[in-house]
Amino acid sequence: MTQSAPKNGTAPATAPRKTILRALAGETLAVPPVWMMRQAGRYLPEYRATRAQAGDFLALCYTPDLAAEVTLQPIRRYGFDAAILFADILLVPQALGLDLRFEAGEGPRLSTVTTPAELAALRPVGAIDDTLSPVYDTVRILARDLPRETTLIGFAGAPWTVATYMIAGRGTPDQGPAHRLKQTDRATFTGLIDRITEATIHYLSRQVEAGAEVVKLFDSWAGSLRGEDFRDFALDPARRIIAALKERHPGLPVIAFPREAGQGYVGFARATGADCVAIDNSVSAEWAAAHVQVDGCVQGNLDPRHMVTGGAALDAEVRRIRAAFAGRPHIFNLGHGITPDADPDNVARMIAVLREG
């Protein structure tokens, strides 16, 4: 095993024992730790059985025993180095007062926030625990039941990404409704970003209080922001959230994922205070190693399609990514979430290749 100097240039007296925490603290491990976005999901037969038991997706999210069960399933099957809380980024809008449902085959549907009156009607941040308390109960169960070597990751959606759903009432291919509101009613748009930012700080802090050891901020639609908008609505909210969390919970590691940020990945860790930047598969591992990993730990970035196709191409890509990031701290992961058509055997194959001598 080799060890790099942490960000302050001095070796720590003691390193955290769990591999994910060691990587986030700045250590370069001979074999990078691994987990997988959406690792608890529809590609697993045991997940589908538990979801059927719950009755629907939201019931699964809000039933702590079942949400903990699906979080634990990929840990039992594969031995990932981390478990990520099973929940959904749209629970926060629901807790703020929006109607939320999931349509089979079509995804989420929400009531919208597009006017000053609708913004004013949102619940105060202090009231969101009335809805979200079952999520904290799930975290407590996981903190108790996970293997001692497994890191527990909490998460939330980043304000821009959450806002795109709250404004459109659904997922959109280009986030057009949010961009239009940003241009036509800046005050309402920025007020919504601020409210989501405050709620996210509270929500993630409560997850940490319940037992999460790391938190991740998912900005799935960051790539549609350009120039000053990227700075104002992806970078700055992340900086505010991370600073507030670290003030409340000193030493808390935070992973940021500004998906498809491109050049925006460069310097993102420095600008926001993130301990790790997750990289999608639209950029190469070699580019990310040269331009992003120089600032600290990176996470990623295998194309999720390899979990469907498998074979020698999967093996080669795992080895290439591991080699590209080998010189500095790295957490192996996909460039985005695993898809429902993935073959569970390919996940086992990925881990075996990654951990080979």
CA distance linking residue 351 with residue 357, whole number of Å: 12
259 is catalytic: no
Q: Which of 51, 109, 123, 248 is catalytic?
A: 51
195 is catalytic: no
Q: Which of 81, 88, 275, 280 is catalytic?
A: 88
- How distant, in Å, are the alpha carbons of 45, 88, 283 from that of 12? 43, 35, 32
CA distance linking residue 57 with residue 88, whole number of Å: 9
CA distance linking residue 171 with residue 330, whole number of Å: 31
38 is catalytic: yes
Burial of 267 (0-12, 13-18, 19+ CB in 10 A): middle
165 is catalytic: yes
**Beta strands 107-110 and 100-103, pairing class:** antiparallel
Q: Which of 38, 206, 259, 328 is catalytic?
A: 38
Cβ 301 vs Cβ 279: under 8 Å: yes
Containing 289, the helix (H) or strand (E) segment is: helix 285-291
Q: Which of 165, 275, 328, 349 is catalytic?
A: 165
Residue 151, SS3? strand
Q: Phi/psi of residue 24, each to 5°?
A: -65, -25
Containing 87, the helix (H) or strand (E) segment is: none
88 is catalytic: yes
Q: Which of 42, 77, 231, 239 is catalytic?
A: 42
Q: Which residues are catalytic?
A: 38, 42, 51, 88, 165
